[in-house]
Structure 1
Amino acid sequence: MRPEPLPDLALLLEEERRLILAGAWDGLQALAPRKAAGLAALPREGGAALAPLARGLARNQALLSAALDGVREAVRRRAAMATMRRGLVTYDAQGLRAELPTAPPRIERKA
């Protein structure tokens, strides 16, 4: 006898949530085929019974979106830091671009 798809999928969504919160991205990749199979096994009708699953899916989607936003912000911040290390770009009174190089940070070692 096949297991019921609703409780199994609810457990999968909870496991997915734990993996997202832990940042275990490789675990999410391993979980994807089981999740796809669980979603495919859902009945076509039964809107009220599927409401908790819809909430779980929406919650996990929001977590994944927030994680992706964080990655994008980190990439943006790294690019800004790299630009700052190259120097300051400014414009003179005539509107011509001028680059002011910055000195690399000096580390002074004392014995």
Structure 2
Amino acid sequence: MTIDPQHALIEALDSLLEQEREALVDGRLSALPEILERKEQLIDSLNEMTGLASVDLQPLRGKVMRNQALLDGALKGIRSVANRFSTLRRMRRTLETYDDQGRKSSLVRARDNTLEKRA
């Protein structure tokens, strides 16, 4: 029995999309660059084929959209953590207080505490 090359590529991409979903759900973001490279190769190969029916690609479309939503969520979480770290760094450099009139004032530390080694 011969395997249709289009069908083989579609199955390979389907399997890769499942691997991508698992990596995103498990938080293995370091696996994504390799998956992306393989995914681009498979998509390029599919684009080169003629006579490909859109019905054959319909299940893949749903998986791609699902993975994109997962990736968007991961990026949102990473941005949130980066913003929180930025806020914490800013808080370490400043002290914000309020006077008896309710006006806010900030005391900014002139320089970071660093250790200087001298010979």
Q: TM-score scaled by structure 2?
A: 0.69
Aligned equivalents of 1:40, 1:17: Cα separation in 2:
20
Deviations 1:45-86 (A, max 9, x none): 411211110111111111111100001011111111222233
Q: What is the CA-CA distance between 1:15 and the residue it aligns to?
A: 0.5
Aligned: 1:99 with 2:106 = yes
Aligned equivalents of 2:41, 2:99: Cα separation in 1:
59
Q: TM-score scaled by structure 1?
A: 0.73
Count of matched residue pairs:
100
Distance 1:9 1:24, change over 3 A: same
Q: What is the CA-CA distance between 1:91 and the residue it aligns to?
A: 8.3
Runs of at least 4 residues off by over 6 Å:
none
CA RMSD of aligned residues (A): 2.8
Task: Name stretches of at least 5 consecutive residues in structure 1 with no aligned partner.
Answer: 102-111
Counterpart among 28, 32, 57 of residue 32 in structure 2: 28
Aligned: 1:39 with 2:46 = no
Counterpart among 51, 57, 74 of residue 58 in structure 2: 51
Task: Name stretches of at least 5 consecutive residues in structure 2 with no aligned partner.
Answer: 109-119
Of 39-48 and 18-27, the range deviating more from structure 2? 39-48
